[in-house]
Amino acid sequence: MAWYYGSDGSTSGFPTCKGAEPPFYIGRIGAGTGGFENREFNVATANAAAPPQTFGYWDLEGPGNTPGSMTNTQWGTAQAQAFVEAWQTGAYCEYVGGRTFFLDSESGNSGWNVGTETDRQEILIGALDYLSNVDNVINEPGAAGVYTSPDTWTSFFGSYTSPYPFVFWYAGTDSPDCTQAQTQFSTYPQASVGGWKTMIWQFQASNATDFDITPYEGYWLNGYWKPVQA
C-alpha cells in the first residue's frame, strides 16, 4: 500500500519519512461564522505543500452559540457557508487549494458544553448537508471532512450514523513514528465513526509535533479525499 504523509495546524515541515510522494498540509482558517484563526495556520508549511495539497479546517461551534434567530440546523449550515466563503476569499485563500473541507469537532471548541445530543446532531447535520453539496458552490469536485476521535463522536453525537458522506480525520493518536502509524492505521479496532472510515490518521512524533498519514486509497492528488463508507 502506498502512503502519503502530511502535517497540520502550527506544525513546521513534514515527517522525514514522507519520501518522494507529495506531502499535504491542513491548517485552520476560521471558526463559527466570523473571523479567521492565524495561530493554527503555518504559511511556510502550506507553501511547501503547494495549494492543491493544502486544505483548511474550521472549528465547528456547538449549540451554546446558536443565535436566537436560528435553529441548530441553520447554525450548522451557516458555519459551513462561512467556511466555504473563507476558502474562496478569506485570509488564506491563496494558499488553500485542497477541496476537502474539514469540520473540527472537539470539546475545546466553543459552545459544546451545553445542549442535548439531538441539539449537537442537528448542528453537524446542517454543516454536513451543506458541505456534501459543496461541488455546486465551488464548481468543482469537493468533499466534507470531520476531525474528531471516536470518544468525542460518541460523547457529542451518540450512535448517530451520517447519511452525508465525510472523510474521517482521526484526531490525536499516540503513534510515535511513521512505521507504527501505518500499523495502527490498518489495525485499530475503532477505525470509523458515523458510518465512515478513517482516511487520515493524526499522530504525534516524539517532539509532540502533529503529523498525519493517509493511504493512497481515497486520497486523490487532484485536490481532495474521497469518503469511504465503513
- Give the residue from 86, 108, 100, 95 showing the smallest Cα distance to 200: 100
pLDDT of residue 90: 92
Per-residue model confidence (pLDDT) at position 15 = 87
pTM, two decimal places: 0.94
Work out the mean pLDDT of the chain and round it to a whole number: 90
Average pLDDT of 188-199? 86
Higher pLDDT, 83 or 189: 83
Q: DSSP readout, 61-119?
A: --GGG--TTS-HHHHHHHHHHHHHHHHHHSTTTTT----EEEEE--TTSTT-SSS-HHH
Say whether pLDDT at 100 is over 70: yes
Q: How far is CA 69 from the centre of its chain?
A: 28
Average pLDDT over residues 108-121: 95
DSSP assignments along 5-17, one per residue: EEEETT--S--GG
Residue type, 6: G
Q: In the predicted model, what is the mean pLDDT of residues 77-89? A: 96
| pLDDT at residue 22 greater than cutoff 90 | no
Encode pLDDT of 2-19 as tens digits.
Answer: 788 999 999 999 988 777
Q: Given a cut of 90, is residue 20 above it in pLDDT?
A: no
Backbone angles phi, psi at 91, to 5 degrees: -60, -25
Strands 192-193 and 167-173 come out as: unpaired
Q: pLDDT band at residue 217, thresholds of 50, 70 and 90?
A: low
Q: What is the pLDDT of residue 190?
A: 65
For range 87-93, the mean pLDDT: 94
Report pLDDT digits (tens) over 33-75: 976 656 689 999 999 999 999 999 999 999 999 999 999 999 9
CA distance 196 to 194: 6
Query: Predicted confidence band at 205 (pLDDT cuts at 50, 70, 90)?
Result: low
